[in-house]
Amino acid sequence: MAPLLQVKDLTVRFDTADGTVQAVSGVSYDLAPGETLAVVGESGSGKSVHVLAMLGLIPKPPGRIAGGQALFEGRDLLAMSERELRSLRGGAIGMIFQDPMSALNPVLSVGYQITESLRTHMKLSKKAAMARAVELLDLVGISEPQRRVVHYPHQFSGGMRQRAMIAIGIACEPRLLIADEPTTALDVTVQAQILDLVRRLRKQLGMAMIWITHDMGVVAGIADTVQVMYGGRVQERGPARQVFRDTRSAYTWGLLQSLPDHDAPPSAGVASARRLVQIPGYPPDMMNPPPGDPFAPRNPFATERCHSEVPPLVQAPGASPGHMVAAWYDLRTARAGAAA
């Protein structure tokens, strides 16, 4: 099956008064239609910037696409005009962001905000769009949608606003839904409900997803594939199960070790309790990243080469097909050596 999205060597920089931030460096991956990719990593690892850059949503300047391609259904998003991008965003590519209070317009009713995208992208009449907005609110589990549709964001609870954001994100039945920490601000019960909802919608609509999260429980609950980022680079990527069971990157291993009960692989539906805690050391200064593997200074298994040369992302030896790692060390031997 032809990929829906092909990211090739995506590189993003921010030129600031203090220097150039190397936010995203050489990120490449394919996403198949219907596939869910979870992107994880500590704060500042380039998760948000890499998707915002594809959507044409980083401020330029200081932001700049320093290289690469992002082919969505064969067309390069990075080479598109603002007009072309606008017609994709909210249409074929839906988006849900972390903070619905800032993403929703406080002076427009929720219904109006849903109908806006239906009218722009699907050319629905005002009446048809309003009927569809009510259906969508119902679909995302908002009770009395008929009455709620005319309410303003401040009349909604946090969980309801997040549901409204999802309704906007999926309104035009996108082929790709990009979600950036959409459940982080919600309590565990609401998070679980939202994840259930998203799983159901994904099945119903057959959409692919890129899901950015700090939460390994969320990853285990929804991801086909997981991609671990650090210092603007991909450290490891593969089928979610394989990455949890046959971890090959010391950084991924550190993330999993730092989970409350790391003996069992993260399981579906267990949110929040598995939020990542700190790995010893500090994330790299992205204006002056280390010359080699960005994780090397914090990696107990780093070899000399890790400190001087960036490892390419390659098929992990002996791992399942598509399980990739960027490492000069072999985690299995290193861990066995450390245990001995």
Ligand X SMILES: Nc1ncnc2c1ncn2[C@@H]1O[C@H](COP(=O)(O)OP(=O)(O)OP(=O)(O)O)[C@@H](O)[C@H]1O
**HSE, side-chain direction, 13 A CA sphere, residue 168:** 28
Q: Which two tokens stand for residue 166?
A: 């999802």
DSSP letters along 18-85, please?
Answer: TEEEEEEEEEEEEE-TT-EEEEE-STTSSHHHHHHHHTT-S-TTTEEEEEEEEEETTEEGGGS-HHHH
Nearer to ligand X among residue 43 and residue 157 (C-beta) = 43
The item of Mg ion, ligand X, none sharing an interface with residue 16, based on CB under 5 to 8 Å by kind, is: ligand X
The listed partner (Mg ion, ligand X, none) that binds 43, CB under 5 to 8 Å by sort, is ligand X
Q: In the complex, what is the shortest distance from the CB of residue 61 to Mg ion, in angstroms, rounded to a whole number? A: 20
- Binding segment for Mg ion among 40-48, 84-92, 119-127, 273-281 (CB under 5 A)? 40-48
Site size toward Mg ion (CB under 5 A) is 1
Residue 192 or 286: the one with the smaller Cβ distance to ligand X is: 286
Select from ligand X, Mg ion, none the partner in contact with residue 23, using the beta carbon and a kind-dependent cut-off of 5 to 8 Å: ligand X
Residue 233 partner contact from Mg ion, ligand X, none using kind-dependent CB cut-offs of 5 to 8 Å: none
Q: Which is nearer to Mg ion, 36 or 48 (CB)?
A: 48
* Residue numbers at the binding site for ligand X (CB under 6 A): 14, 16, 21, 23, 41, 43-49, 59, 62, 286
CA atoms of 168 and 162, how far apart (whole Å): 10
Q: Which of 195, 185, 168 is nearest to 95 (CA)?
A: 168
Using the 8-state DSSP alphabet, how is residue 207 labeled?
-
Distance in angstroms (rounded) separating the CA atoms of residues 95 and 210: 10
CA distance 68 to 28: 9
The least CB distance from residue 123 to ligand X, in Å, is: 34
**Residue 13 or 121: which CB sits closer to ligand X?**
13
For ligand X, the closer of residues 46 and 145 by Cβ is: 46
DSSP letter for each residue of 289-310: --SS-TTGGG-TT--TGGGTSP
- Binding flag, residue 45, Mg ion (CB under 5 A): no
Q: Tell me which residue has its CB nearest to Mg ion.
A: 48
Those residues whose C-beta lies under 8 Å from the C-beta of residue 63, and which sit 6 or more positions away, are 12, 13, 14, 23, 49, 53
The CA angle 160-163-168, to the nearest 5 degrees, is 130
Q: Which is nearer to Mg ion, 101 or 131 (CB)?
A: 101
Q: What, of ligand X, Mg ion, none, does residue 104 touch, CB below 5 to 8 Å by kind? A: none
Distance CA 7, CA 87 (A): 20
Which of ligand X, Mg ion, none does residue 308 bind (CB under 5 to 8 Å by kind)?
none
Yes or no: say if 246 and 240 are a contact pair by the CB < 8 Å rule.
Answer: no
Task: Select from 22, 25, 48, 113 the one that contacts Mg ion (CB under 5 A).
Answer: 48
**Which CB sits closer to Mg ion, 48 or 225?**
48
**Residues in touch with Mg ion (CB under 5 A):** 48
